[in-house]
Structures are given as structure tokens and as C-alpha cells.
Amino acid sequence: MSRARVARRIAAGAAYGGGSIGLLGVAAVGVLLAEVALAKKSVGGGVAPLPPGSDGRYGREFGPEEPLRLALLGDSTAAGQGVRRVGQTPGALLASGLAAVAERPVALRNVALSGARSDDLERQVSLLLASPSGPPDVAVIMIGANDVTHRMPATQSVRCLAAAVRRLRTAGAEVVVGTCPDLGTIEPVYQPLRWLARRASRQLAAAQTIVVVEQGGRTVSLGDLLGPEFAANPREMFGVDNFHPSAEGYATASMALLPTVCAALGVWPEADRFDAERRENVLPVAKAAAEAAKEAGTEVSGVRAPWALLKHRRRRRLPVPQEGHVPDEGRVEEGRVPEEDGRRDASAPLQRD
């Protein structure tokens, strides 16, 4: 069965209350359990530091005007576990990048929780929407890895994600989802578990894309976090525990997410139409989801049901956040972008091999 058909079945099962569609066949369970026992001895060579708090105001050099409100939800990847500095977290990188592109300050709220699965999104969304400042202008969700590793039924996983996106969209927020990363890139994991992890990850990522687009959100395929750089340089792109991304890994993921976050708010200079020379197209949503799952960094957004736009946006260099204490917010730290460097870096193209 094609990946597009599997993804559509999972999404349909989520919509109509199915809960039995899994990501791996029963025949694989015995082999999988044996390989998991071996992988547990290899993965986690060190202890990943707890994620530093990244809440705060970014881009203060753009003045005292009302900031754009950015929220992050999801698991340890969204929280930034694995790095020690605030400026290395995806929240700080995305907030600084958005401020530089929009030339407006950005207020970041991160409610992601390390170890979270998709069923925790209901709590995270409620926490976010209860804020006195109101709903965010744009919310970024990064979720799915723990769903695969804890064998959460795929239909339940995408049902929870769809509900979270629907609540945020109803509240007026734009939503960008970084889909399930490719767990087959974890270096100490051996075959056949590596193949099974890749298959499960990509099936879930494609199903996530279908339900997110149907709820009016956009997705970016995180794949191997992200692009050939991660598979080619795993020792650089993974952190000390060989599972969570390193600072370079988070920067690569953030570079892929930033154009879509900006486009959702209408501040990205690139139009929302396909460029055939960049292998972009308008496809049925299930087909677009399957294609995106195969190539990291691919964006999928809705056009008109059942069609979706598949894009490969040009990545830009991220401004480097400078960390400093925020007196009026006590416990949090702020990432700031120097005006000259931030504007220059935000418009400079990323050189790729």
C-alpha cells in the first residue's frame, strides 16, 4: 500500500473515531522489541541538559510597538532540550528570525514539555489560550517522536493534533506544524529497527500533514532534521545524548520552519504559488503529504479541498540571538538581534551544497 493511502487511512480513522490503525505490522513486533533493548543501551550516551527558558521579548531594537505573538508547543524538540544557551533553542531562533523579517518585536511563549506526546497538546493549548495576552498570532507545534517511540496508535495521535490545530485556528492563530522527525536517523539504532523507525515516522508525518492542512494549518517536514546535512553529519547534528538535536541541529530545523512561519503571517517576500523549476506543485493533499514526508524541509498548505500546495521555500540564514536578562519578566531570558546584522542575515540566502 502506498504511503499516501496509508496516511489517508490513518487520517480517516482519526476523523471517524478509529483507534486501531497502527504504524507497524504485528509480524515486526518480536524483532522490534529485541532491537529496542539493544538501542536503549546505545542511545543516550550522555545526559541532555534541561531546556533553558526562552520566553520573552525579541527584537526590541524595532521599537515599543505591539509585538507579534509567537507560541511554541510540543515535545522536547520544541522546548529545546539538549542545548544550554537560550539563543540556541528553536524558540529563540524563530522569534529572532521573525522579528528580523517582520521588523517588529516578537513576544515568545513556549509551553512545550519534554517527553510530551500528542495527547498533551490539549493541556498545552488550554494553557496558551488562558493567557491574559490572548491567543498567539502564530503557533508552531513540533510533535510526534514520542508517539512513535511509545507506540501510541497513529489514529489517536493525529486526532489529538487535529483537535489542537482546530482550537488554535478557531482562536484566530495561524498554525505551523513541524511534522514527526525521521527516527531512522538516530545513529546508534541498527537495522531492522532503523528501517521500522523510519517507516513509522514517515507514515505519521504524512498523516499529520493531512489533518493539519484540513484544519487550515501548514506543515513543514522535519524529516531527518532537516535535509541531507543531518544524515551526513549525525555527530554534529545530534546532542550529547545522541537523541536530541545539537545547537546546529536546532538551527537547521529553525531555518526550515522560519519561512513558513513568516509566510503564514504574510511577511515573507516569496509568494504562495508553486514554482515548477523548484519541483513545487499543487497535488491532492494525501499525495502532497506523502511527497513531503520523503523530503525534509518541504512545506504543505491548503489551496482548496482536496488540493494542497507543496513548496520548497528558499531557506535564509538566521540572525544569532544575543542573550540578556529581561528585568520585567524575572525568570526568563531574552534573545535580541543586532539591527544591522539581523536585517542583513534575514535577507541573505542560505548557501547549500
Which residue is catalytic, options 54, 55, 75, 76? 76
Is residue 241 part of the annotated active site? The answer reads yes
| Longest CA span, the chain | 60
The yes-or-no verdict on residue 62 having pLDDT over 80 is yes
Q: What are the tens digits of pLDDT across the range 106-134? A: 999 999 998 899 999 999 999 999 999 89
| CA atoms 9, 11, 14, 19: torsion sign | positive
Q: Is residue 29 part of a domain?
A: no
Distance CA 128, CA 228 (A): 34
- Residue with the larger pLDDT of the pair 219 and 274: 219
As a whole number, mean pLDDT of residues 48-54 equals: 72
Q: Is residue 315 part of a domain?
A: yes
Backbone angles phi, psi at 301, to 5 degrees: -140, 155
Tell me the pLDDT band of 23, cut-offs 50, 70 and 90: low
All cell numbers assigned to 353? 551544497
The yes-or-no verdict on residue 60 having pLDDT over 80 is yes
Q: Which residues have C-beta within 8 Å of that of residue 207, sequence separation ≥ 6?
A: 6, 7, 10, 11, 14, 154, 157, 158, 289
Query: Is the distance from CB of 226 to CB of 237 less than 8 angstroms?
Result: no
pLDDT at res. 16: 53
Q: How far, rounded to the nearest angstrom, does the alpha carbon of residue 200 sit from its chain's CA centroid?
A: 17
Backbone angles phi, psi at 43, to 5 degrees: -75, 140
Backbone angles phi, psi at 63, to 5 degrees: 100, 180
pLDDT at res. 334: 36
Is residue 244 part of the annotated active site? The answer reads yes
Q: Is residue 109 part of a domain?
A: yes
Q: Is residue 119 part of a domain?
A: yes
Of the given ranges (215-219, 269-273, 279-283), which has the lowest mean pLDDT?
269-273
Which residue is catalytic, options 119, 241, 272, 275? 241
Q: Which domain holds residue 256?
A: 3-17+56-345
As a whole number, mean pLDDT of residues 166-172 equals: 98
Number of domains in the chain: 1
Query: Is the distance from CB of 350 to CB of 259 less than 8 angstroms?
Result: no
Of 108, 102, 100, nearest in space to 71 by CA: 108
Beta pairing partners, 311: 299
Q: How far, rounded to the nearest angstrom, does the alpha carbon of residue 18 sit from its chain's CA centroid?
A: 25
Q: Is residue 125 part of a domain?
A: yes
Peptide bond into 245 cis (omega under 30): no
At CA 286, angle to CA 285 and CA 287, rounded to 5? 90
Peptide bond into 310 cis (omega under 30): no
The yes-or-no verdict on residue 261 having pLDDT over 80 is yes
Q: Is residue 37 part of a domain?
A: no
Q: How far is CA 234 from CA 21, 181, 184, 203, in A?
A: 32, 14, 11, 22
As a whole number, mean pLDDT of residues 57-82 equals: 93
Which stretches does DSSP call E strand in the chain? 56-58, 68-74, 106-110, 138-142, 174-178, 218-220, 281-284, 299-304, 307-311, 322-325, 333-336
As a whole number, mean pLDDT of residues 295-315 equals: 89
Which residue is catalytic, options 54, 114, 221, 244? 244
Of the given ranges (14-28, 140-154, 220-234, 323-337), which has the lowest mean pLDDT?
323-337
Distance CA 54, CA 106 (A): 12
Rg of the chain's alpha carbons, rounded to an integer?
Answer: 19
What CATH code is carried by the domain that includes residue 98?
3.40.50.1110
Please return the burial class of 70, using the count of CB atoms within 10 Å of its CB with bins 0-12, 13-18 and 19+.
Answer: buried
Interstrand relation of 281-284 and 307-311 (parallel, antiparallel or unpaired): antiparallel
Q: What is the pTM of this model?
A: 0.80
Q: What are the tens digits of pLDDT across the range 229-254? A: 455 555 544 555 455 677 788 888 89
Query: What DSSP line would sit under 319-338, residue for residue?
Result: PPPEEEE-GGGTT-EEEE--
Place of cell 513558513: 260
Q: Is residue 271 part of a domain?
A: yes
Q: Is residue 42 part of a domain?
A: no
